[in-house]
A and B are shown apart, each in its own frame.
Chain A
C-alpha cells in the first residue's frame, strides 16, 4: 500500500467515529413496557356505537361486501 493511501486511511479513521455493530440496549423490554403501559377503556357511548354497527350488519347483511370492499 502506498504511503498516501495509508495517510488517507488514517485520516478517514480519525474523521469517522467507530461503528458499534451491537445495539447499545435491548429494545424488546422497552417494547414490552409500552405494550403494558396503557389500555384505553371503551366509553359507554363507543360501546353503543359498536352495538349499533353490529346490529346494522346483522339487520342488513347485504352491506357486508360493501364494507369489506371499502374498509
Chain B
C-alpha cells in the first residue's frame, strides 16, 4: 500500500472529526429543537462542519510531509492545531454573529488548554491508530 500517501493521510485525518462532528451536531440539534435553547444552528454549524474536519485532514497531510524532516511526535503535532483553529473559530463566530461564542470569549481561556490536551490525546492515540490502519508513516 505505497500509493497516494497524502490522500491516505487526509482520509486518516478526517476519520475521527467527521463522526464526532455528527455527534456534536446531534447535541446542538437536541438543545435547539428539544430544549429550545436559542442556538443559531445554521451559522454555528459552518465552522465544525466545513472547517474542522478538513483542517484535521490537511494537518495530517502536513504531518506526513514533515515527518521525516522534523520528527515531531504526532501528539505534539496535533496539539498545535488548536493554535490555528481556536482563533479562527472565534473570528468566524464574530463575523457570523454567533453570540454564545463571541460574547463568552472569557471562557475561551478555559477551553484553550482543554482543547490542547484533547487534541494531544486524540492525535496521539486515535489519529495515530488511523494512520497505522491506512499505512501512513507513524
B115 touches A70 (CB 8 A): yes
Q: Is the interface of B mostly helix, strand, loop or mixed?
A: helix
Assess whether A66 is interfacial by the CB under 8 Å rule.
yes
Q: A-B contact count, CB below 8 Å?
A: 76
- Which residues of B in the span 86-101 have a Cβ within 8 Å of any Cβ on A? 86, 89, 93, 98, 100-101
Assess whether B133 is interfacial by the CB under 8 Å rule.
yes
- Which residues of B in the span 109-138 have a Cβ within 8 Å of any Cβ on A? 110-111, 114-115, 117-121, 124-125, 128-129, 132-133
- Using a Cβ–Cβ cut-off of 8 Å, how many residues does chain B contribute to the interface with A? 35
Interface residues as binary, B60-85 with A (CB distance below 8 Å gives 1, 0 otherwise): 00000000000000000000001001
21 A-B pairs (CB sep. < 8 Å):
A35-B133, A38-B129, A40-B125, A40-B129, A50-B117, A50-B121, A56-B110, A57-B114, A60-B107, A60-B110, A62-B107, A63-B110, A63-B111, A66-B104, A67-B118, A68-B24, A68-B48, A69-B48, A70-B85, A70-B111, A71-B48
